[in-house]
Structure 1
Amino acid sequence: MRRNPGLFWCTWGILCLLGTSLFAQFQTGLENFLNNSSLKNAVVGITIRDCSDGKELLNYQGQLSLRPASVAKLLPSAWALEKKGADFCYETRVFYSGGIRGQAIAGDVVIVPSGDPTPDSRYFPDSRFIRKLVSVLQEKQIHTIKGRILIQTEKEVNIPGSWLWEDISNYYGALCHDFNYRDNTYNLNFTTGAAGTPARLLSVEPEVPGIRFQNQVKAAVAGGDNAWIFGGPYSEVFYVKGTLPAHQAFFQVKGAMQQPENCFIKELTVRLAEAGIKIEGQNPEYPEREELYVYTSPCLEKIVFHTNKSSVNLFAEALGRLMAPLHYENAVKKWLAEQGIDTLGVILKDACGLSPQNAIPAETITHLLYVQRNNAAWVHSLPVAGRDGNLNVYLRHHPDLKGKLCAKTGSFSGVRCLAGYLTTASGKRLAFTLLVNNYTCPVSILYEAVGTFLSDWVKYK
């Protein structure tokens, strides 16, 4: 046996104890997966539990702390649902000062945020904070705001120290702020010509006040979006580098808003002007405030649904902040320990899994899946093979997984992870985690190997 023979033979022995037929059925599948020559440089952790009684059916290097990528989203999403409830909603309150005199607000309009990640999110097309706020002002027949539009934020912008420089200004690196808007994302709209020529930046949507974009993108013969945005929350110049496909009349590159409150105020000002409402921008001192409007987010169940189905980093970070505004790692480990789950080896630098310094043992994740197996809203948030596209890569050679594989994916360079539930042909439900780190083979080969391994377990009785 090639890799760590002691651990493999220990696993083999465990399988033997479960019965000769079970051993014969699955030891070959595990051995074939581990001996796949394309994975010889990878580090693997696999654990499987029977959801009917919690019995551990397989543990291969399940104690190793491996990078989970987006599988880490399982923790804050389950925690939030359990403690806050599926019906929990964020509330963003809007106040005005100075009273209403005639058709004018004498003072400021002040927005007090709650960390809600959903205002004007593309995942919630009916939750339009700007539209509703403009509508409320129109209903009150307001024509003038004497003061300013203010957003009351107290916290500084804190980027997790382990996030990579090439990630933090691109859309998947959108930070969670006190106030969030449009998924904290903007679009750079390009057009490209022949390969090797500069791409032309047509527009920025929405406008990002105070930021100048230095475009260094070129057209390339082949490939998709290989353009990267470099900048930070206190930068005034963002550099856009890399390549885009040649001869594209229109191509979008998505970036992360570093100061979403500024983008919101800019766009709100435009919308108010279109509605005939003027902002004079005076600085009147009216300490008393009255409530104008309360924006209520979609319920937590729906936020968690998109957190895991669409793997939205911003939503996962918001859930982490909701549950633990400070010291997320310590707080989530305490919650896990309360459920009897071993936290030794758990290292968490963020809630979404973007940090390459995160590490979780496979056995910890599988134990969580077993404990939370009846958390219906959480289980419903996991992608399903054949229904959600991000799992279809495992169906190409193994159609028997359709409808039977329900799992959260996690991936970045050299990392592919999968954790969730597998329903066997006999109707048994298994909780499993499969973490692969540092693979060097084409990802298609890895998908096929994982699909073969899981397909074998569908036959489990």
Structure 2
Amino acid sequence: MKIKQTWLVSILFISNALCAQTPLQKRLQTAFARLQTDEQCKYGAVSLTVLDAKTGELVFGGNPDMGLAPGSTLKTVTSITAFNVLGKDFQFQTQLGYSGAITADGTLNGDVVIKGGGDPTLGSWRYANTKDNVVLNTMVAALKKAGIKKINGRVIGDNGAYNGQSIPDGWIWQDLGTYYGAGIAGLCWRENQFDILLRTGSVGTPVGIAGTNPETNYLQYKSELTNGAAKTGDQAYPYLPAFNSKVMYLRGTYAIDQTKKRVGAAIPDPAYDAALRLTDTLKHIGIQVSGEPQSSIMLAEKNQAVPANATGLITILSPNLSKIVYWLNQKSINLYAEQLLATISLKMGKTATAADGVAVVKSFWEQKGIDKRSMNIFDGSGLSPEDRITTSTMARILQSASSQPWFGDFYESLPVYNDMKMKSGSINSVQAYAGFQTHEGRQLCFAIMVNNYSGTGSAIREKMFRLLNELK
């Protein structure tokens, strides 16, 4: 009799819970069950959390506490943390100065030092004031104003406080030479990337290297890349072996119908590249530089230090954080996310490394009531396939942003997919979205992740959109 009573109570409880559901919750439950049982998700994992963006009330939770790989949706966590810790008007600073003294005839007996402050936009083409020619002309003007007509020394690119680990733990070897796998640096330059220009041919034949943009003759290139069949896409990967090798390899395939004929690659030492570009610019306008350009990394390898007590000439400011976050999320720029993670770490008194940055992020949200165990992450961009976070935690972090004075800037940074403002994330067999949607006058925030799906990415995205359409 007791067993029957327990069974009856359970049935009544479930029945009452179902009856208590709103029409939206019922539709979400049906749509979530349909996605979870889809053939593409047979061996996968699906999670969805929907919250009221104003109150934080749980609207729907399907496996909300399951830790899954978020891909680039993790950038929303990094962005929101940066807004909280750094402030929307934060600007990076790059210092130009010199050591030694300037003689009466305008000769600098010393070195010109470009000291980086972690600015990922220095030399970037995305903003009018950060373009490489604008930055170089600004530096040249400052040197001329100081009366420097000749440099008996070198131009040095200094990474400043960012001399630690440049690549987050968990990033895979295949990504490290690519433009999207560029490591952090105290002195970034042109988003730490350049293009390798390709000379294509017929299917199965080797792809040649036609040059680079900009010219990087301090590296050597070996192509093991082959021309792939039409519609097989860009499967080319640059590899720069460890131990300071100067030889970059291209491997994989590149479809013959690809039109761009180039592959984006990571600059191994951006501080050196910045010093090289300034040196070349000075020589071009007739200011002689006797020494070869150097970086703080190169000097450290020789057991030498960057000259101390440099006389300051000019401070170059980055765009403010709101504008940086805009492009970070619009174009999913991994470098911007990792530089912000390192900067958050410095701001909180730690080192400029991904590991310390992650620890700071976890601690920050733990103080806001979020269990740090729900964030088993290794970077700020989501490029690491080992990253795990719950949709519940991601949705709660999104919800926390909605009441902040800078929310409009963050919201504007989110791309539009499926006519919804949301950040996407995709790596191997992972598809995720996180963002906001207004439903019947009520603003909702959500995070949805599918891991280990089979089949095509386009098919799983269509099915995820079908579920998210219930929020419209």
Relative to structure 1, the CA distance from residue 273 to residue 39 in structure 2 (aligned partners, 3 Å threshold; closer, same or farther) is: same
User: Partner residue of 2:96?
Assistant: 94
- Whole-angstrom CA distance in 1 between matches of 2:52 and 2:120: 36
Relative to structure 1, the CA distance from residue 336 to residue 157 in structure 2 (aligned partners, 3 Å threshold; closer, same or farther) is: closer
- Offset at residue 274 of structure 1 (A): 1.4
- CA contact 2:233–2:258 (8 Å) conserved in 1: no
**CA deviations over 1:151-180 (Å, ceiling 9, x no partner):** 233614532231111001101101111110
- Whole-angstrom CA distance in 1 between matches of 2:22 and 2:257: 61
The one-letter code matched in structure 2 to 1:129 is: V
The one-letter code matched in structure 2 to 1:80 is: A
**Structure 2 residue 427 is the aligned partner of structure 1 residue 379:** no
Q: TM-score, normalised by structure 2?
A: 0.85
The structure 2 residue matched to 1:307, chosen from 325, 328, 341, is 328
Q: Secondary structure at 1:344's aligned position in 2? A: helix
Relative to structure 1, the CA distance from residue 454 to residue 103 in structure 2 (aligned partners, 3 Å threshold; closer, same or farther) is: same
**Structure 2 residue 458 is the aligned partner of structure 1 residue 444:** yes
The one-letter code matched in structure 1 to 2:126 is: Y
- Whole-angstrom CA distance in 1 between matches of 2:36 and 2:78: 31
**Structure 2 residue 212 is the aligned partner of structure 1 residue 204:** yes
User: Partner residue of 1:419?
Assistant: 434
Relative to structure 1, the CA distance from residue 14 to residue 35 in structure 2 (aligned partners, 3 Å threshold; closer, same or farther) is: farther
User: Partner residue of 2:233?
Assistant: 224
The structure 2 residue matched to 1:260, chosen from 259, 270, 278, is 270
The structure 1 residue matched to 2:394, chosen from 357, 361, 365, is 365
User: Partner residue of 2:61?
Assistant: 59
Q: Secondary structure at 1:30's aligned position in 2? A: helix
- CA contact 1:218–1:244 (8 Å) conserved in 2: yes
The structure 2 residue matched to 1:16, chosen from 8, 15, 18, is 18
What 5-or-longer segments of structure 1 have no aligned partner? 1-8, 386-390, 395-401
**Structure 2 residue 204 is the aligned partner of structure 1 residue 175:** no
- CA contact 1:90–1:114 (8 Å) conserved in 2: yes
Q: Secondary structure at 2:374's aligned position in 1? A: coil
The one-letter code matched in structure 1 to 2:186 is: D
The structure 2 residue matched to 1:120, chosen from 120, 123, 140, is 123
The structure 2 residue matched to 1:191, chosen from 185, 199, 211, is 199
Listed as ranges, the matches of 1:103-182 within 5 Å are 103-127=106-130, 128-153=134-159, 155-182=163-190
- Offset at residue 220 of structure 1 (A): 2.1
- CA contact 2:54–2:399 (8 Å) conserved in 1: no
**Structure 2 residue 411 is the aligned partner of structure 1 residue 409:** no
Q: Secondary structure at 1:254's aligned position in 2? A: strand
**Structure 2 residue 382 is the aligned partner of structure 1 residue 353:** yes
- Whole-angstrom CA distance in 1 between matches of 2:362 and 2:68: 16
**CA deviations over 1:218-276 (Å, ceiling 9, x no partner):** 22221332111112452222211122233778611000111112222222222111111
User: Partner residue of 1:388?
Assistant: none
The one-letter code matched in structure 1 to 2:453 is: Y
- CA contact 2:433–2:449 (8 Å) conserved in 1: yes
Aligned pairs, how many? 430
- Whole-angstrom CA distance in 2 between matches of 1:76 and 1:116: 16
- CA contact 1:207–1:263 (8 Å) conserved in 2: no
The one-letter code matched in structure 2 to 1:251 is: K
- Offset at residue 117 of structure 1 (A): 0.8
- Offset at residue 299 of structure 1 (A): 0.7
Among the aligned pairs, what percent are the same residue?
A: 29
User: Partner residue of 1:4?
Assistant: none
User: Partner residue of 1:399?
Assistant: none
What RMSD over aligned residues (CA atoms) do the two structures have, in Å? Answer: 2.4
User: Partner residue of 2:286?
Assistant: 276
- Whole-angstrom CA distance in 1 between matches of 2:137 and 2:21: 63
Listed as ranges, the matches of 1:385-400 within 5 Å are 385=416, 391=417, 394=418
Q: Secondary structure at 2:384's aligned position in 1? A: coil
- Offset at residue 287 of structure 1 (A): 5.7
Relative to structure 1, the CA distance from residue 166 to residue 21 in structure 2 (aligned partners, 3 Å threshold; closer, same or farther) is: closer
- Whole-angstrom CA distance in 2 between matches of 1:141 and 1:13: 84
The one-letter code matched in structure 2 to 1:170 is: T
Q: Secondary structure at 1:166's aligned position in 2? A: helix
- Offset at residue 140 of structure 1 (A): 4.2
**Structure 2 residue 347 is the aligned partner of structure 1 residue 318:** no
Relative to structure 1, the CA distance from residue 288 to residue 115 in structure 2 (aligned partners, 3 Å threshold; closer, same or farther) is: closer
- Whole-angstrom CA distance in 1 between matches of 2:273 and 2:17: 58
User: Partner residue of 2:362?
Assistant: 333
- CA contact 1:198–1:218 (8 Å) conserved in 2: yes
- Whole-angstrom CA distance in 2 between matches of 1:360 and 1:14: 32
- Whole-angstrom CA distance in 1 between matches of 2:238 and 2:16: 50
- Whole-angstrom CA distance in 1 between matches of 2:66 and 2:56: 20
The one-letter code matched in structure 1 to 2:424 is: T
- Offset at residue 141 of structure 1 (A): 4.8
The one-letter code matched in structure 1 to 2:248 is: F
- Whole-angstrom CA distance in 1 between matches of 2:69 and 2:252: 27
Deviates more, 1:118-127 or 1:164-173: 118-127
Relative to structure 1, the CA distance from residue 115 to residue 162 in structure 2 (aligned partners, 3 Å threshold; closer, same or farther) is: same
User: Partner residue of 1:293?
Assistant: 314
Relative to structure 1, the CA distance from residue 13 to residue 122 in structure 2 (aligned partners, 3 Å threshold; closer, same or farther) is: farther
